[in-house]
Amino acid sequence: MTAAVEAASSAVPSLGAAAPDFELANQYGEPVKLSSFRGQNVALVFYPFAFSGICTGELCEIRDNLQTFDDSNAVVLAVSVDSKFSLRAYAAQEGYGFDLLADFWPHGDVARAYGVFDAGSGMAKRATFIIDGEGIIRYSVVNPRGQARDFNEYRSALADLKRA
């Protein structure tokens, strides 16, 4: 872990701050780098584990409403500490048409950079960051364990980006 990532690992980045860059493998083992999406908005969705109830419900809601993201020139990147192998099976089972990124090793490094790694349980917290086309965080939410995110908040945050 770099010194910059280490320093940022204890706090959630502030609104208006540059989003920490990263590169992770998606469910197919392909590298996905956040900064490669400059010029496009990004919904960075951290979730605890593949195949779990609340996570599946949330990601299926995103899957079923991908047009909301497309209409806002936004790509969805969903991140968990699962391996790319688990994520591939999960994506196939649920029909996800967006990247599932494996923050598997070093375990939780990206979640740490965003201040959303729960070291006690070894998982990412349920958190979302909406990042604009210049790499700036414009919206964030971290939900308590066991509480699903409200999809209407995505709609609102993406609409705010369109007005900006």
Active site positions, annotated: 55
**Other CB atoms within 10 Å distance of the CB of residue 18:** 13
Instruction: With residue 88 as reference, give the H or E element that holds it.
Output: helix 84-94
Alpha-carbon span 48 to 94, nearest angstrom? 16
Beta bridge partners of 123: 118
Alpha-carbon span 97 to 105, nearest angstrom? 24
The CA-CA-CA angle for residues 158, 162, 164, to 5°, reads: 110
The token pair that represents 134 in the structure block: 């210049």
User: Smallest Cα–Cα separation from 42: which of 70, 20, 72, 74?
Assistant: 74
